[in-house]
Structure 1
Amino acid sequence: MRHELEEVNVLASHYADKAISDAYSVLRSWKRRAEKGRASLRKPKLKRVYVRVKSTLRKVDGENVRITVKPYQYLTLSWSHTWFSPRVKGLELGEPVIKEDRVHLPFRYRLPWSTPLDYLAIDSNLYTLDAYDDEKFVTFSWRELYSLKFGMELKRGRIKSFASKHGRKGGKLMGKYSHRERNRVLDYVHKFVNKLLEMYPVKTFAVEKLDKQSMFQDADDKLSKEISRTVWRSIHRVLKYKAPLYGSLVKEVNPHLTSKSCPRCGWVSRKVGLFVVRGVVSPWTGN
């Protein structure tokens, strides 16, 4: 296959390697989701054609990148006058993705050379985030976020009733409020993570690798609604890609017995909630 492609284009073998790598990645992701019942048993299909450019086929010069398409044929892109230029200043360009109508330029943070020795163990609950910093216990309240999602849920229920009677107009209104809720939640999450990283820079954050779907199986209707309003994965995801800016790392751990284990000696209690948190911290004031 590589030999046949090289007869058409000398660089085809490089792009074929990335295509095979992406195909394996898609199949592995589909297999994991299918085994958990989250995806159809039908094999996944790519709906849009794209090409991922290897690092050896692109050359970065300041805020410009030159991509080799064919021998002595290049595609040059610049982000110097774009809206996101200040946000990616100092970041490293990843592997560009070329689609039929646009080009995606991913950027990444540089990881610290050494792993921070100081840990911050985090236990994610329904209304709080409980942490232990090797000296004291501290709690971040999520009540404001929970109230925001609860209020938007009530409003979305009324809009859904309206949308069922007004066709396209109702659908547009439903999409508008769903988009607004998502933006407000993400805004809260980013502010929360920023405050957490400012309070605890150069740390290794140990967070639980939670699975909502398995929680729903053992929960009643009331608890299922409360779990559906949580944003654990969003907070962990934002924390994971923002932590390197503060010289920190994020490590996901098995959540088994984390709520019953003492963060100091590792002793496991038979009672839930034995280790009482000694202070409540607001994500906005730090008091």
Structure 2
Amino acid sequence: MVLGSTRRWRSASRRLRINSFAPPEESIYLTYAVKNDKKEETLLLIREYKKLLGKALDYLWNKTRVETESTTVKRGRHKRVKVIIPKKKEVYKGLREGLEEVNPLASHYVDKAISDAFSVLKSWRKRAIKGRVSLGKPRLKRAYVRVKSTLRKVVNDEVRVTVRPHQYLTFSWGKEWFKDRVNGLELGEPVIKEDKVYLPFRYKAPTQTPLDFLAVDSNLSTLDAYDGEKFVTFSLKGLYSLKYSIVKKKGKVQSFASKHGKRGRELLRKYSHRERHRVLDYVHKFVNALLELYPLTTFAVERLDKQSMFKDASGKLSRKISRTVWRSIHKVLKYKAPLYGSRVLEVNPYLTSRSCPRCGYVSRKVGKTFVCQRCGFKLDRQLNASLNIYLKMCGFPHLDGIPSRWVGVTPLMGRRRMKEGPLDSREAQGLRIDIKYEIR
């Protein structure tokens, strides 16, 4: 018994050891697109790889089990889905041998097809468990090839891709606008599509420690933030107006497309691309301006789920929520933050706008202004949410003795009420700054 406990202690102590005091390297992939000037050769490669990927997916699907179970909840019957995907090491050998017999491409494309098939199934399983897709076999809609590092060779400003033994395709970025920007960076796995080739370059982010904190509460037309000393409101009315005008035009195009077949579908596709590109352009410019204003900062954003918001919202509010792009802002911010020595944390938004940051009381109903019925704390609902996100990010629950600079008022000790009546946090309200970005 003593010997067994000693061994367990030694194995546990090994896991607790620090292998290196150097911070882990963080890499960012900057992706740029070049025009595909070899469409005929590329089309053959994409078709053969799609067949290979489809056969790998069929093989794995035959060994995948989908189980459904009906459970009773408060609102009625609920279907519970369980998906069991075969383990890779159990089916890899047989699947690889089967694909090698029908593979007309280089041998390494078989390994990539197996990895991509598992990725497709795992992504489908996540959405199937949430009830967002059907329980049938996932289909391959987009045709593309992701080239492994063993199938490409970089020479100066060109990448040579192996199709078959002694058969290659070469793509160059020597005359592209981003040539100087990617000079000295390592090329990742290129993605080949019918019209474009996407080149991801690896950029090693400098190891810097974020010094400041910023908690962000996402609302319909603003981002309300708290940085530990003051409240900052970033206006997103320009983005909201852009989405509103495009959605209005798109509605007219949809009615036209329902009557004019192919021509209508092409026009609808054109406006969909226009909406996506304009919104992403605005988001990237906004995030760049935000990171220039707050470098070396830890950002705390809400982990939002728009699908759950639609359940309890009215029709008018649902339309407003559908025009928001919170997730896009958070993704771009998370992608670009390491370039400025910053990082992004996601915080659970549950009860952040209804909790008192002084005594922890949770109010059932909250209007435009949050008023704590226990201690009398009073603050704008959106600013109160950003303050609670800040406290969650810093690891402080709603305890007594929180430093006064966080709230702008002196916190109460215990749960006793104030004899003078409700306290208006005018000091905190006065620390609000509005920032409007004129992005064109």
Same fold (TM over 0.5): yes
Inter-partner Cα distance in structure 1 for 2:195 and 2:272? 27
Is 1:45 matched up with 2:199?
no
Q: CA deviation at 1:60?
A: 3.5
Is 1:204 matched up with 2:298?
yes
Is 1:270 matched up with 2:362?
yes
Give the TM-score, by structure 2 length.
Answer: 0.55
Gaps of 5+ in 1: none
**What per-residue deviation string (whole Å, max 9, x for no partner) do you get for residues 189-222 of structure 1?**
1221111111011222221121111111111111
Change (3 A) 1:146 1:102: closer
Indicate if the aligned counterparts of 1:19 and 1:52 stay in contact, CA closer than 8 A. no
Match of 1:188 in 2: 282
Match of 1:77 in 2: 171
Indicate if the aligned counterparts of 1:115 and 1:249 stay in contact, CA closer than 8 A. no
Match of 2:322 in 1: 228
Amino acid at match of 1:154: K
**What per-residue deviation string (whole Å, max 9, x for no partner) do you get for residues 141-197 of structure 1?**
112222222233333334444444555544444444333333332222122111111
Indicate if the aligned counterparts of 1:19 and 1:51 stay in contact, CA closer than 8 A. no
Inter-partner Cα distance in structure 2 for 1:164 and 1:57? 45
Indicate if the aligned counterparts of 2:208 and 2:296 stay in contact, CA closer than 8 A. no
Indicate if the aligned counterparts of 2:351 and 2:362 stay in contact, CA closer than 8 A. no
Inter-partner Cα distance in structure 1 for 2:272 and 2:218? 25
Name which of structure 1's ranges 266-275 and 137-146 shifts more when overlaid on structure 2: 266-275
Give the TM-score, by structure 1 length.
Answer: 0.80
Inter-partner Cα distance in structure 2 for 1:137 and 1:42? 49
Q: CA deviation at 1:51?
A: 4.3
The number of aligned residues is 281
Match of 1:120 in 2: 214
Inter-partner Cα distance in structure 1 for 2:256 and 2:160? 51
Q: 1:20 aligns with which of 114, 120, 136?
A: 114
Partner secondary structure for residue 279 of structure 1: strand
Q: CA deviation at 1:132?
A: 1.5
Is 1:96 matched up with 2:250?
no
Root mean square deviation, CA, Å: 3.4
Partner secondary structure for residue 284 of structure 2: helix
**What per-residue deviation string (whole Å, max 9, x for no partner) do you get for residues 76-112 of structure 1?**
4321113553564565422123457764322344334
Amino acid at match of 2:117: A
Inter-partner Cα distance in structure 2 for 1:165 and 1:98? 35
- The aligned runs of 1:116-195 (5 Å cut-off) are 116-195=210-289
**What per-residue deviation string (whole Å, max 9, x for no partner) do you get for residues 234-286 of structure 1?**
11122222222212222223222333457xx786452445443422111349x
Inter-partner Cα distance in structure 2 for 1:19 and 1:257? 44
Amino acid at match of 2:214: L
Give aligned-pair identity as a percent: 66
Amino acid at match of 1:282: K
